[in-house]
Structures are given as structure tokens and as C-alpha cells.
Chain A
Amino acid sequence: MSTEETHGNGSASAEVAARVERRWATIAVIIIVMMALLAAFAGIHRATMPQPRVEITDPSRIHLSGEFVESNLGSVLEANGNVTVRAIGQQYSFTPACIVVPVDTPITLRATSADVVHGILIQGTNINTMLVPGYISEQLMRFARTGDYLMPCQEFCSFGHEGMWGKVKVIDKTEFAGRAKGGGRLSCVGQ
């Protein structure tokens, strides 16, 4: 095809080209709008969601007062039957290092960092959140199966990062309720 030929039948072929192109562009836009709508729909219907609110805390004082003092870390059974887990990450471990929670129960994880940026990832689930010093991370979770889950730190936190692995032990509901009777903060310790 020489340039002259291209220009010779230019207008007709250009129209076809433009039409096909417009059709494709329309399909592309529809795909994208569909994706955004699906995300909005799933969000409204409370699928797993990114953390909605911003809460702050002072990492240099968390061990002295407030909800992240050592005696308040671990799992607690709330009056409504839900469970709240409070944890902190620091170079290079989580406290508690092994979290214990009941199966089939709405759980709120509240966590923060005492020093640098860390992350909590529970393998085999979609529980995944960053711990940024100065801010509180909150995530809702619910385990469908009992068992042990690995909980590595998923963000580089300096030279010991590869050794920062925690655990989550998901146990039977009644067993958990029995242990929680005393009203204390539970972890895997002492079982």
C-alpha cells in the first residue's frame, strides 16, 4: 500500500476505522465502570473493607497508659459476645506473639506499632493491615475454621524483619468462653 493509495480511499476507510475504534473505546469504558460499581456494591454490603477511620496514638507512651499498655494486650470477650484483640508490633515481634480467638465470632483487631512500620498478615485469610507508628489500625475479622495460622510481619522493619512471625490460634467457642470467664486478657500463654 503506497501513501497515495491510502489517501485515495482515505475518507471511507477512515470512517470504518474510527467507528471500530469508538466501539472498542465504549467497551473499555463499560468494563471500567462495571468494575467500579462492583467495588462499590461489595463495599456497601460489607465485604472486607479497608479501614475507614483515622485514629492516632503516641508510640512513645503506649506502654505507659491507654489501651495498648501491656496488661490490656490480648483477646477479650465483650458483653455482646464479640471479641476484641489488642496487639502491638515492635522490632522484631508481636505482643502477644500468639493470639487466641474463638471460631465463628465477630472479632475486632486493634493494633499499632511501638517503633517503625510493621504489618500484620494472617496466612490463609484476607486479614491484612499495616501498623504505622502514631496511628491505630483496626480490622474486622471472623475465622470459619479452628486451627493454627501463621501471622508474619509483612512490611520491612529493618534487619530482623525475617524473624518477625506471630501466630493465631483459633479455638472452639465454648472453650474460649470458658477461658474468658475470669475477664482477663487472653493469649496462647498458659494453656
Chain B
Amino acid sequence: MSLLDRKLLRDLIALKSQALAVALVMACGLAMMVTTRSLILSLEATRDTYYREHRFADVFARLKRAPNAVREQLAAIPGVATVQTSIAIQVTLDVPGLPEPAVGLLNSLPERGEPVLNRPYVRAGRLPLGRTTRGELAVGEAFAEAHGLNPGGAISAILNGTKQDFRLSGIVLSPEFVFEAPPGAALPDNKTYGVFWMPYKDLATAFQLYGAFNNVAITLAPGASEGEVIAAVNRVLAPYGARGAYARVNHPSHRRVDDEIRVLQGLSLAFPLVFLSVAAFMTNSVMSRQIALQREQIAMLKASGFSNRQVGAHYFKFSFAIVIVGVLFGAIGGVYLGHRLVEMYHLFFRFPQLDFVLDARVLVAAAAVSALAAFTGVAGAVRRAVHLPPAEAMRPEAPASFRPALLERIGGARWFSASFRMALRNIERRPIRSGLTCLALALATGILIVPNSFRDGIAYVIDFQWDIVQRQTVTLTLVEPGPSRAIADFRHLPGVELAEPFRYVPVELRSGPISRRLTLQGLPEHGTLSRVIDAEPRQLTLPARGIVISSKLADILHVRPGDEVIAKVLEGHERELAVPVIGLAEDFAGMAAYMELHALNRLLLEGDRISGAHLVVNASRWSDFLHAVKHTPRAAGCVIKNSIRDGFRKTTGESIGLLQKMYLLFAIIVAFGIIYNSARISLSERTRELATLRVLGFSRGEVGAVLVGELVLLTVAALPLGLVIGSGFAKGILSSVNTETVRLPLVLTADNYAFAILVVALASALSAWFAARKLADINLVSALKALD
């Protein structure tokens, strides 16, 4: 080790707490970047391999019923490589230990051989294939885990009105159900929704579908046009109650994974870059100070024959040493958090295996970015140092020039104490540095706003969705839409106090070239249970004509109230007609459209029919009610609001809650790092001045006040700016989380602002305290001798 390097090492040790503060801020930015980029890589790589190895289809279609012979017609469509037809039907389940009924999506397995597309991955046990598997069922892993189900266990389902008992043959996963949740759900609720596979014959006979299918999966030949194939599939299936074919990009599970990757992409760049810029600024201020302190050493080195290049390299090495520590911590932190988050993704996404893959390129790139930031941060100071003629550098720097501060010049002088004036003039003499310190403090305040705005947004969504929009206790759906008199049967269930009907119908809404498939909900004009709420939030009444859509959907379709959209009904009598958009509804998951119930039925040309009802059930009759529902053959689904809400709370608590805590920790580290560093630099620059004051008879406390005054002024100026910046960050990041499947509203509460201010104030107070403790260590005699 050269002697210069030894000097470097000792200087670093002397500066360890500041170097560490900078390295930690850098590490936070890097950890965030490494975690998110690596997760993107992990998710994409795992998903692609899974899709390929298990032959995830390219085009999907649902229909009412078509004879198996139609399969050949589909296979004959130009561009179609493989066709798989099957049956998929939603049923009510009776799960041991679960008081309420759950919903199961039953998928058929081929009568001969294995599935050719969307092939399940067997985690445990086996698939019920072959002829000897009657009464057997394979269950999706998420549902199995939620209920502690194992191969050999039992479960009951109501198939077409008849309760049947099944034995579980195995636990499986499928590329079709990476996100194992009903279409459009933002979060899975694995207690009440599960996916199952069973032999075709069992399922088909139970629903009188033997020799027919209602579900299609297709892969495309290389070079085939997806759009043309979809159009052809729709033509072939039109006579069979087709609900419209769709491409992989519109597949609900695929879309949810895609949206998650998009969210990670949003988080992976902008926010970490803020941290890295703060770290660059901190490196600059530490290094500038270090170089100023070593002015005479630089002169000596140059006078003794060291070249400018050697001297420059010495100081660059200094900042690179900080970068190396930062990168090391950042990589360790990123890998650790990445593993934690991969575990979290297990809550949402079911892959045969999701391993954390470190995106090494990102680590290298992030290290390079940090090094570059440190380099630019230090370049100016190093250049000044090496260009100093040795003789001049040997002399102490001339006293800095000051003038009365602006506030004094405009007449405030007589109210200010001497120490306040010193602080004001110090700030004004170095406007750029003061501005940057103020900005760094504002950034520290700002990044504290973001994580808590996540938390508050989620709390708002929970209140909005389950207090304002949904006021029912439970929602029951019928196996098939039925006549509206079914509502009377629901009213007679034990404990039901109020029942309001609804009609769900799959539609495609189109405006110009853009279209989306979703469930159109028919609701009573002045519904009191499931309400349509706008952004105010205010209840919208549904008039006899027109449609209310999610404001997110309006953005996607580029329509506003007053414009028309084309609604294509994807069930029963296929119809297409233009309906005016009469209002925009606020919602935070998926996309929705609403019409008045009778208006919708007129549109469907089906007479008065309903898909189910929202019910208010008296709590004292709850178990009677659930028991009755489990034995009501016509009820296909039963959604209990409170269990959905609890599930949502739990899942967000474990997912976004984890992210929020992680970001909050980072933000606190950065706030402390910036403030501590500023206080230390201020202490170092003014050691002589402060020692003089001590010698002249100022007490430690009085000198401390002089030291802290400048920091306090800058902090006070930074706080309002920080709140504005933080609100902007929160808005920016939430808009990157604004996808078709999940959104979070921007909620900025006084509590959130108060918390940010409190943390920064506390960090300032503690840093000031640390710095003031350092004051005690100043040797008064030597501080006066040393010419700075």
C-alpha cells in the first residue's frame, strides 16, 4: 500500500461517520433499484419459462356450449397451431371449516392423454387423469394452502344443483392461474376462491355438456395474425353463445402479472435516482470540505513533486471508497429485500418456483451511476485543489467576504441577535450550497411523504370500497341469470332484511379502435346496497338510458360524459349498440360499467332477469343464513363483504405494508444522513469560529446555538418545499401504480405531513445534539493555533 493510500485509509477512518452517512444514503437508493430491477427480471424470466414449458395459450374464448365437432372448425382456421377445448364452470363449494360457501372454478381435463395447452404443474399428488379417477379433483395451490388441504383430503361442491363429494388427488398450478383470483380482482382471496381440475366426463355429465365444450385455448402458428385469428374464432363460435375471444394481453391472470411488472418498473428508477442524487450532493459536500481542510497538505504534496494527476486521483479514490461501501451495502440490502419481496409475491403469484435472481447488470449499472455521481460531485473541488499554486495553498485562505443579509438590508437588522445574523449571512454568502442543502433537506422531507401516502391510500380504498360503495352483508349469485322473481326466494332466506337485485353481463365496450371486455352491472336506479359513486364521492343515480363507467376506463377509451361508447353483449343474443356515457364512477380495482337494471334487460332483450342479489343479513341469524345458502342449489356464489375486506387488509398489510415500511426506513435513513452530514460539515467549517467564541466566554450551549442556527433556518425553509416535493413524488409514483387492474388514490393527510415534519425536526435535533457533543471535544488551544 502506498503511503498516499495509507493516508487515504486513515483520513477515511477519521471521517467514518460522515462517510458512512453518505454510503448509507447511496445504499438505500441502490438497494431499492437492485430489489425492484431484480424482481422484474425474476418475474419476467420465471413467467416466460413457465409459459413456454407449460404451453400457455395465445388466444382464449368462452362460450355457452358448442359440440366437440366445432373443435375441427377452430383447428382449420389459418394461423391456428393448436386448439384445446374444455369445460370451465363456476360452482359453490362446501369447504370443511369454512362457515361460508366458497367459489370454485372447475376445469375439465381431457378424456384421453394430458392437456396440450395450459398444462398444469403438479406440486403434490397427481392429476385425475384416465378412467379410474371418478370423484377425484386436483386443487390449485393457493386455495389448498389457504385451507390446509392435502392430497387425499375431501371437499364438496354443488354441481348443477346436486351436492357431490370429491377426493383431492393432487395440488397443482397452472399458467392460466398464476394470479389465482376471479377476473378483475386486485388481490387474491384464496379462502373463498379456488381453481380445480377434474375429469371431463364427470364435469360434462353433471352439467349436461357431454360431447360439448364451453372453453377454448389456442396457440398461434409462427407469423399468424392474432387479430385475424380472433375474428375467425368469433365467427366460428358465434352460433354457440360466444363471449368473444381475446388475446393473451387481455388474459386476467397474465394482465395482473404484467401490471405488477409495470408497477415495479415505475418504482425502479425515479425514486432510487432521487436517493442517488442526494448521495452525490452529500459526497460533494464532504469532499469539498475535506479538500479545503487539506489545502496545506495538497500544497505540500505538490511542492514535494506529486503531479496534479496523482493528487487528483488521491481525492477521487476517497470518494470511490465511499461509493464502494455504498454499493456493497446497497447490494446486500437489495438482495435481502429482494428475497423478502419474492416471498411476498408468493401471496399473489403462483409459479412452480419463483426464485430471486439478482440483476447483476443493474448492480453494475447502479454502481457506475453512483461512481459517476460521486465523480461529478467531487470533480469541481478536486480541480480547484490541483490548480492551486503550492505557495498560495500554503497560506491560510483569506477571510471569507460577507455582507449584511438581505433581511437586514431591508430593515430587519435591529431585531436580529448576533448569532442569527451570523447564520443568515453564512447562508447568503454561499447561496448555491445553502440552496442545495435546503433542497436535500426538502428531498428528505419529501421522500418521507411517499410511503405514508401508500398507507393512507389503501385505508381510503378500504373505506371507500366497503363503506361507501358496498353496504351489503353478502352478495349471492345465481348459477344462471334467472327471472326477477328469484329475488323473493332470497328475501325468504333466514335473517335477510334487505335484498336488491343485480344483473351481470359480459360485454365489450369500444370507442374507436380501443376496446375492453368487462362485466356490465345492472343495478336499481336508487340502489342503497351496491352503489355507484363518483370521485366526489357522491352517489350517482342510474337513469333509464345511458351507462356509467369507471373513470379509468374513460381514460383508456378516451371518452367523457356525453360521448357514446359501443357496447357489444358477449352472452346470449349477441347485440351491439351505442350508449351514451352519462357519468364516471370512481373505483380502484379493475374496471366497471353500470346501467340501470331494467335498461340493461331491455338491451339484452331477455325480459326481467337477474344474476343475483346484494343482501343485508341480520347478524343474529348469520349461521342459519350460511347453512341455508350452502344448501341452495341455485346459488352459485356467495361473497361475504367482511371476509373480502379482511382478506384485502391482510394481503395489503403483508405486501404494500412491507414496501411501505421498507421505504419509510430508507426515507428516515436519508433524512438523518443528510441532516447529520450538514451539521458535521458546518461544525468542521466553523471550528475555529466556535472555539474563539468558547475562549471569549460563550458557554457550550450558546456556541451550540450559533452552530445550529444555520441548520434550523435551512430546515425551516426546506420543510414547506419538502411537503410540496413529497406530494409531487407521491403523485408521480401513484400514477405509475395506476394500472387497469390496480390503482391507489392520492391521499395526502395532515398526519402524513406532520409525520414528515416531525422526523426531519427530530433528525435535526439529534444531529445538532451529536454535533454539539463534538463541540466539547474541540481543544480550544489547538483550534486557535491551527489556521483552519
Are A and B a genuine interacting pair, yes or no?
A: no
On A, residues with C-beta under 8 Å from B are: none
